[in-house]
Amino acid sequence: MKNCLKNKFKLLILIIAIIILIIFLIVLNGCQVNQLFSSFSPSESISSEIEKIQLDENELKSLEITNATIEEKIDSSNEIKVSSEKIRDPFMPFYLNPEAGSETQKNKLSVEKIYNEDEVFFTEINLNDSVYKLKKEDLFGKIYQVKAINADSVVLLKGDELITIYINEIYYD
């Protein structure tokens, strides 16, 4: 029992010593900060006025900076080169026709068949001479999704646009 009390007393003394040491270090650091701030006296305040200097015009002329050289440095139009080549749209999928000028150059979609297998409706859609066998919610061509299959039409989602294509109709997108 005495050993237990002795150990607790030693622990209490150690904790008090650590607290006193921490307080001493804080006070010591505070004194250094106060000494740092007290080294600036009000008479040594920083001047808010900008010192005025005289410019020598001959010295400025010797620098040989003219408006033409300044404009040349600012003008960046000579750095931009516009190519006469047609630039490919980076957002256009590479496998789809990039030209949208005529109907033969657009993406060609057509519904070939609509049928029912085991109570699930399927459709066969032709996209640029590639035939896809699809059901509702299937993706194809990386940009189209089948949203509904009706008796004589299919509803597709492209981005936020709904496209309805009827059987044996050719749709140019």
* Chain-centre distance for alpha carbon 96: 27
For 84-143, write each residue's pLDDT tens digit: 666 777 776 666 655 544 444 678 899 999 999 888 999 999 988 889 999 999 999 888
Q: What backbone torsions phi and psi does residue 67 show, to the nearest 5 degrees?
A: -60, -35
For 143-152, write each residue's pLDDT tens digit: 899 999 998 9
Residue 120 in tokens: 């699930």
pTM for this predicted structure: 0.41
Strands (E), 3-143: 108-117, 120-127, 130-135, 139-140
Distant-in-sequence, close-in-space partners of 35: CB < 8 Å, separation ≥ 6:
none
Residue 49 in tokens: 């006025």
